[in-house]
Amino acid sequence: MAAEASPALVLGGAEEQPLRDLASYRAVGGYAQLERARAMTPQQVIEELIASNLRGRGGAFFPTGRKASFIPTPDKIAKPVYITVNADESEPGTFKDREIMLRVPHRLVEGCLIAAHAIQSRSVFIYIRGEYSTEYDVLQAAVDEAQSAGLLGDVSIVVHRGAGAYICGEETALLESLEGKRGQPRSKPPFPAIEGVYASPTLINNVETITTIPVVLQVGPAEFAQIGVPPDSTGTRVFCLSGNVVRPGAYERPHGITVRELIYDIGGGIADGRKLKAVMVGGSSFPVMTPDEIDTKLDATSLGQRGLFIGSGVVTAIDDRACIVQFALRVAQFYMHESCGKCTPCRVGTRWLVQLLRAVENGSASEHDLELLLDVCDRIIGKCLCVLGDSAAMPVASCVTKFRAEFHEHLAHGGCPFGADSSLDRLFAPVDQHHLAPVAHEAGV
């Protein structure tokens, strides 16, 4: 049942073509929920969100209504309160927020305005990644149009463009960046709900989460809470299907669809008649899934039982042409490039992972290095200021433990057993465009 095309909600009305202008969004009932929300008290709106059990779509899956309830009401604090929408979508494999902004920009704006009413904020910042040029144009046009139509009321929405830094998707790094600083994470507490941007209470939500708010009001919180896999994984997700599949794309489906259904029924199976070897689930920041796990449902509980994560709804199929060591190496190179450098386990650890994986790949590693790899992962996970370090270590550790035989083949073969035949062979990483001094142990110091 889950595999069947169900009515789109977040992307509702935009299945065939995008709803970019106000008139076409209004034609599918757009901004009706804003009107309803404004007729309710802020507290009622938050209660509806809590009742729906909508949870964050950016990766952390935190209950949205509860997060909103942490923001002090105006009678409790003499500061303005802010909303910051995280549109810094940069998790490898993730493109849902981009699809949402291109296809239903006004639904995002409507969600911002409902959220602003709920926490009594008059100031919304949408932090959009710097690379998204067309997306910025489309979103800014929607904001301008909503403003001209008088929909914003006393709320201002500023679309703020980033400048190329994955770490700014981390909520406190985003706040630093928005304040005009280097995007380095803060230590928590204080949490953003108490001290966010400009040391004021700040609600931070992902684009898809905010865009789901009008949907919650539209279908009703009780009904919404029945979609997907209640009680924890309610509603739909815009799943990001990519990699070696016949029909990659953004597919909105309820939580609970299996990885197999997504890859084979919706995505048309593995391309070029190849065999599935592994699946990147949630994003590149999480442990990989093996083919014997693909009947797992895509909901937080089912994935959690296997030590996996729903993340930002990513499902990337990796076929049997890919060398898993090269995969782990390329993932580690990404995090090395994106580490902000503020804390040592991440700054040094990501780089160490790259060196060890490269040694495995080129045949200069020993059995001891595999243990060292896992040891380095262990010394990163849970020991960094933010989750970027974990995001490098979790996938790498999962590759070593779930594909140990292939790592051993590299050792026995004195290098990559695939030769030049791997689909990821010699894949260039941006980090190699930079000139770096060797670290101490590399230089033999």
Partner 1 sequence: MSLTDEIQKVAQRYPDSKSAILPALRLAQERHGWLSREAIEEVGEALDLTPAYCMSVASFYDMFNLEPAGRHTIEVCTNVCCGLVNAQAVLESFERELGIAPGETTADGEITLRAVECLGACSTPTAVAVDHRYRQSVTPDQVASIVEELRGR
12 interacts with partner 1 by CB under 8 A: no
130 interacts with partner 1 by CB under 8 A: yes
17 interacts with partner 1 by CB under 8 A: no
- The answer for residues whose C-beta is within 8 angstroms of residue 129's C-beta and 6 or more apart is 87, 88, 89, 90, 161, 162, 164, 168, 169
- The helix or strand, by DSSP H or E, that contains position 69, with its residue range, turns out to be helix 64-69
171 interacts with partner 1 by CB under 8 A: no
Give min distance, CB of 248 to partner 1, in A.
4
Q: How far apart are CA 191 and CA 110, in angstroms?
A: 26
Binding track over 255-284 against partner 1, x by CB under 8 A:
-------------------------x---x
Among 52, 84, 86, 90, binds partner 1 (CB under 8 A): 90
Q: How far apart are CA 401 and CA 407, in angstroms?
A: 9
* Count of helices and strands (H, E) across the chain: 18, 10
Residue 36, judged by CB atoms within 10 A of its CB (0-12, 13-18, 19+), counts as middle
Give min distance, CB of 391 to partner 1, in A.
13
The DSSP secondary-structure symbol of 246 reads S
Q: Which one, of 37, 239, 207, 236, lies nearest residue 129 by Cα?
A: 207
Q: How many CA atoms does the CB half-sphere of 73 hold within 13 Å?
A: 7
Q: Which one, of 444, 241, 439, 206, lies nearest residue 336 by Cα?
A: 439
- 395-424: which residues touch partner 1 (CB under 8 A)? 423-424
Give min distance, CB of 339 to partner 1, in A.
12
Give min distance, CB of 21 to partner 1, in A.
21
93 interacts with partner 1 by CB under 8 A: yes
332 interacts with partner 1 by CB under 8 A: no
- The helix or strand, by DSSP H or E, that contains position 85, with its residue range, turns out to be strand 82-87
Size of the site for partner 1 (CB under 8 A): 67
Please identify, among the stretches 36-44, 46-54, 86-94, 105-113, the one whose residues bind partner 1 according to the rule CB under 8 A: 86-94
Give min distance, CB of 299 to partner 1, in A.
22
Please identify, among the stretches 50-58, 163-171, 205-213, 375-383, the one whose residues bind partner 1 according to the rule CB under 8 A: 163-171
- What's the angle, vertex CA 233, arms to CA 73 and CA 283, rounded to 5? 100
Binding track over 195-214 against partner 1, x by CB under 8 A:
---x----------------
Q: How far apart are CA 229 and CA 300, in angstroms?
A: 9
Residues paired with 161 in a beta bridge: 128
Tokens of 265: 């029924």
Among 26, 66, 161, 383, binds partner 1 (CB under 8 A): 161
77 interacts with partner 1 by CB under 8 A: no
Question: Which residue blocks in 266-366 are alpha helix, DSSP H?
Answer: 300-304, 324-338, 344-362
Give min distance, CB of 98 to partner 1, in A.
5
**Interface positions with partner 1 (CB under 8 A):** 80, 89-95, 97-98, 123, 129-134, 156, 158, 160-166, 177-184, 198, 240-244, 248-250, 280, 284, 316, 318-319, 322, 327, 330-331, 334, 337-338, 340, 423-430, 432-434
